[in-house]
Amino acid sequence: MATKSTKFIPALDDVEKAREKFLKALDITLLNPPDVEVGASPHEVIFTENKLRLLHYYPQTEEACSTPLILVFALVNRPYILDLMPGRSVVEVLLKKGIPVYLIDWGSPGDEDKNLDLNHYINRYIHKVVQKVKKHSGSDKVNILGYCMGGTMSAMYTALHPEEVRNLILMTAGIDFKVEGTLNLWGDKPNFNVDKFIDAYGNAPADFLQSGFLIMKPIQNLVSKYVNFYENVDNEAFLESFLAMEKWLNDNIPVAGEVYREFIKYLYQENQLVEDKLKINGKPVHLKDIKCPVLNLIAENDHLVPPASSIVFNDLVSSEDKKTIVFPAGHIGLSVSGKSLKGLWPEVSDWIIERSN
């Protein structure tokens, strides 16, 4: 009996250690979550309109090119995913390479913004930003890097205003919305009456959008990552990174109703951009009017924007200088993973610099 008892005591110790670890994890994530700093690269706000802010990042080294780069993020979530934290920041890599960087922070639309449409975002907001950046930098043209939905809008802008853009970089941008994909299926006309939805809500609610993203990968989003968190709760570097990502993932914003309605109807349901039928403010959006150098960045493991949705873009433009990079990462990993920041973004930076002087 004594032998059995001594064998059982360490097991009790293990249970107590596991309990303490669980309570620590619970305290960090739910009871007393720390306010982690994100988007910390030094910058100034040089232009505002309505909710929009235009950020200019201070140089971190001697500038290697004279053409500024504008980062255009999606209307969903916050753009600081591109500058999450030191060591996990696309902005940081670009700045250290000597590229002048600007970023559009769309802000969070209110009920008064429900009528903002594609024309407002592209021909007013983006176009105004381009003019402000040109004036601020002294450049006659800009480079544009559009991420996800921001990439789709950047392609539209460049097609409508090709004289403004020296180089166009797309990053996990939806172009062909009739390829196989979960969001494409959910947004298709037989499955989603977007008119009734937006007429009822005004704007697309943040929690509606967030819940959709979560249930696309329920095991990973709701189970696996917390198991991983529990196993690494004593690793301070892991904790800092994990909590920064959690802050971004849960920092949700609505999407202005009319631009959401148009995105669903014109792209997801009617695929007008690929079929060369899209008009914005009465003017046709022809991707073939894009003639500048193009770099198309695709995440091989993207569950939000299937690679097939993005890869067609280079075949639809008239650019002679065009390149596609399919990188082994996910939709978010393309911007924050150590593998991407070390293996992809220095190459992207060099591509931009070579074509920007």
Rounded Cα distance between 71 and 89, Å, is 13
CA proximity to 149, closest of 221, 40, 71, 73? 73
**Domains contained in the chain, number:** 1
Active-site residue numbers?
148, 302, 331
245 within a domain of the structure (yes/no)? yes
Dihedral in degrees, nearest 10, Cα atoms 327, 333, 336, 342: -30
Closest among 330, 305, 340 to 220, alpha carbons compared: 330
* pLDDT, tens digit (0-9, with 9 covering 90-100), for 118-175: 999 999 999 999 999 999 999 999 999 999 999 999 999 999 999 999 999 999 999 9
275 domain-assigned: yes
pLDDT at 221 over 90: no
Torsion of CA 334, 340, 346, 350, to 10 degrees: -40
pTM over 0.85: yes
CATH of the domain at 95: 3.40.50.1820
Residue 17 inside a domain? The answer is: no
Q: What is the pLDDT of residues 284-293, one digit of tens each?
A: 999 999 999 9
Q: How confident is the model at residue 6 (pLDDT cuts 50, 70, 90)?
A: very low
Q: Look up the domain containing 217 and give its range.
A: 43-354
* pLDDT mean over 269-275: 97
22 found inside a domain? no
CA distance 338 to 89: 9
- CB-based burial, 264-287: b 16+ in 10 Å, e otherwise: bbbbbbbbbbbeeebebeeeebbb
Both tokens assigned to 1: 């009996």
What residue spans of the chain are helical by DSSP H? 2-26, 90-96, 118-119, 127-137, 149-160, 182-187, 194-201, 206-216, 218-219, 225-231, 236-249, 257-262, 307-311, 313-316, 333-336, 338-343, 345-354
Instruction: Please write the tens of the pLDDT for every residue from 54-88.
Output: 999 999 999 999 999 999 999 999 999 999 999 99
Q: Is residue 24 assigned to a domain?
A: no
CA-to-CA distance for 319 and 167, rounded, in angstroms? 10
CB 158 within 8 A of CB 285: no
Looking at the DSSP assignment, which residues form a beta bridge with residue 326? Answer: 298
Cβ–Cβ < 8 Å for 233, 21: yes
Q: What is the pLDDT of residue 249?
A: 86
Say if 11 falls within a structural domain: no
Instruction: Give yes or no for residue 3 having a pLDDT over 60.
Output: no
In the three-class reduction of DSSP (H, G, I as helix; E, B as strand; rest coil), residue 326 is classed as strand
The average pLDDT across 246-272 equals 94
- Please give the pLDDT value at position 222: 63
Of 185, 245, 254, 253, residue with least CA distance to 221: 245
pLDDT grade for 4, boundaries at 50, 70 and 90: very low
Query: Which among 262, 298, 300 has a CA at the least distance from the CA of 278?
Result: 262
Buried b (16+ CB within 10 A) or exposed e, 288-297: eebebbbbbb
